């Protein structure tokens, strides 16, 4: 009988963009795969893959205790109905709610993947500080035990999980990011014409949008033929979302161009010369930076956990201090005026992805985690 594997993730688009190859490989390896998420524009695509669908709206707003408690009970009921052999919770909120629900429903095997530690560990505001202690208490009670494994995406997060949250070392695994398919993101020579600097992400303040715009405003008088583009949509469910009116205002002023949501990220990267992500968010390993490196594009990013996992300063990009638009502008200037450095860093980034961040490697490492928590080792190896 096939082991039942249930993915729990807040949004269907995130499952498709970050976990679809893993789910396909798990199905090929003999798992019966179901996805529990809020189904929106990707529901049909998930069903066409042959996966089961369990609509579940967890939401990505705040961690209101009453709402979280109700979500735990609803999710526990779902677990009792579906009776999965293994549940894979992905990202912070799914882990907090899902781990409690799995305890109540006595799910035999649970894998929790932290895609960064997010708002609570990247923000310095009082609300984040007040949330940390009760959430850490819940996680200390739920993350360890028989049939449990925790995946961290960078060494900094692994240290916090082992220290503050008390995850036992034997249950804590490092799997760096969600990986990319190098064939889908081929390296290419720079195109002629205007130099293009791209910021590709959700439009969140914590991702460094304002810093990118400020750097662009500094550099535009010096480099009038350089394009600075923002690629990505707003995220109204996130309190850090940049208002649409602000993005439209920046676009109208001309320092940056806001292109909105785009599905053709490989094409955007091929048309770009530099990719920047001055994030202050609690990142795991930002997938867009892996994609940029795969395409042979140099990266400018902040020197924070997750970003520095893929960006090696001076090798495939430049690391700058967080919240410093001046340092960001200086780093971008260095690359705008030096095509040879861009080519050298781009080639190094491609090699790093092939050796360390390929989709195939991440999938193999995660399937090994599944086998480690299932009695008898679970399903067969990937063919």
Percent of the chain at pLDDT exceeding 70: 95
pLDDT band, residue 125 (cuts 50/70/90): confident
- pLDDT reported for residue 380: 45
Q: Is the pLDDT of residue 129 over 60?
A: yes
Helices (H), 166-208: none
Would you say residue 335 has pLDDT above 70?
yes
The secondary element (H helix, E strand) that includes residue 244 is: helix 244-253
pLDDT, mean of residues 273-291:
95
DSSP element (H, E) containing 342? helix 339-356
CA neighbor of 25 nearest in space, from 299, 383, 348: 383
Average pLDDT over residues 367-382: 77
Upper half-sphere CA count for residue 289 (Cβ side, 13 Å): 27
Q: What is the mean pLDDT of residues 128-134?
A: 78
Residue % of the chain over a pLDDT of 90: 79
Domains in the chain (CATH in brackets) are 4-179+358-377 (3.40.50.2000), 196-356 (3.40.50.2000)
Q: Average pLDDT of 365-378?
A: 89
Confidence of residue 381 (pLDDT cuts 50, 70, 90): very low
How confident is the model at residue 61, as a pLDDT? Answer: 56
**pLDDT higher than threshold 70 for residue 177:** yes
The answer, yes or no, to whether residue 330 has pLDDT greater than 50, is yes
Residue 378 is predicted with a pLDDT of 57
Q: Which of 58-62, 125-129, 268-272, 359-363 has the lowest mean pLDDT?
A: 58-62
pTM assigned to the model: 0.91
pLDDT average, residue stretch 142-149: 88
Position 239 scores a pLDDT of 83
Tell me what pLDDT residue 89 has.
98
**pLDDT(235) > 50:** yes
Residues 6+ apart with CB under 8 A from 261: 232, 233
Q: What is the pLDDT of residues 42-53, one digit of tens each?
A: 888 999 999 999
Band the pLDDT of 63: cuts 50, 70, 90: low
């Amino acid at each position: 009988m096939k082991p039942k594997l249930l993915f729990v993730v807040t949004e269907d688009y995130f499952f498709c963009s970050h976990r679809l190859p893993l789910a396909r490989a798990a199905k090929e390896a003999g798992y019966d795969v179901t996805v529990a998420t809020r189904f929106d524009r990707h529901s049909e695509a998930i069903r066409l893959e042959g996966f089961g669908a369990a609509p579940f709206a967890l939401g990505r707003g705040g961690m209101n205790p009453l709402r979280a408690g109700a979500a735990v009970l609803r999710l526990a009921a779902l677990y009792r109905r579906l009776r999965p052999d293994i549940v894979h919770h992905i990202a912070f909120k799914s882990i907090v709610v899902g781990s409690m629900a799995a305890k109540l429903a006595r799910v035999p095997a649970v894998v929790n993947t932290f895609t960064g530690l997010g708002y609570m560990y990247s923000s310095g505001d009082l609300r984040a500080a007040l949330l940390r202690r009760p959430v850490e208490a819940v996680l200390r009670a739920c993350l360890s035990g028989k049939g449990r494994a925790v995946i961290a995406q960078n060494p900094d997060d692994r240290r916090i999980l082992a220290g503050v949250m008390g995850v036992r070392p034997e249950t804590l695994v490092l799997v760096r990011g969600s990986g990319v398919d190098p064939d889908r993101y081929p390296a290419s020579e720079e195109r002629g014409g205007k130099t293009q600097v791209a910021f590709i992400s959700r439009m969140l303040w914590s991702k460094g949008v304002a810093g990118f715009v400020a750097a662009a405003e500094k550099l535009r008088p010096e480099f009038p033929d350089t394009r600075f583009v923002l690629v990505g949509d707003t995220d109204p469910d996130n309190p850090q979302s940049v208002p649409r009116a602000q993005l439209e205002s920046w676009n109208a002023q001309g320092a940056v161009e806001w292109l909105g949501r785009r599905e053709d990220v490989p094409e955007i990267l091929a048309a770009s010369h530099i990719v920047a992500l001055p994030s202050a968010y609690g990142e795991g390993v930002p997938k867009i930076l892996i994609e940029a490196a795969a395409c042979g594009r140099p990266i400018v990013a902040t020197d924070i956990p997750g970003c520095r996992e893929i960006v090696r300063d001076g090798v495939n990009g430049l690391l700058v201090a967080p919240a410093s638009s001046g340092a960001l502008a200086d780093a971008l200037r260095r690359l705008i005026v030096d095509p040879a450095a861009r080519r050298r860093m781009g080639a190094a980034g491609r090699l790093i992805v092939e050796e360390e961040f390929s989709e195939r490697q991440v999938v193999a490492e995660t399937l090994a985690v599944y086998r480690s928590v299932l009695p008898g080792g679970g399903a067969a190896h990937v063919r």
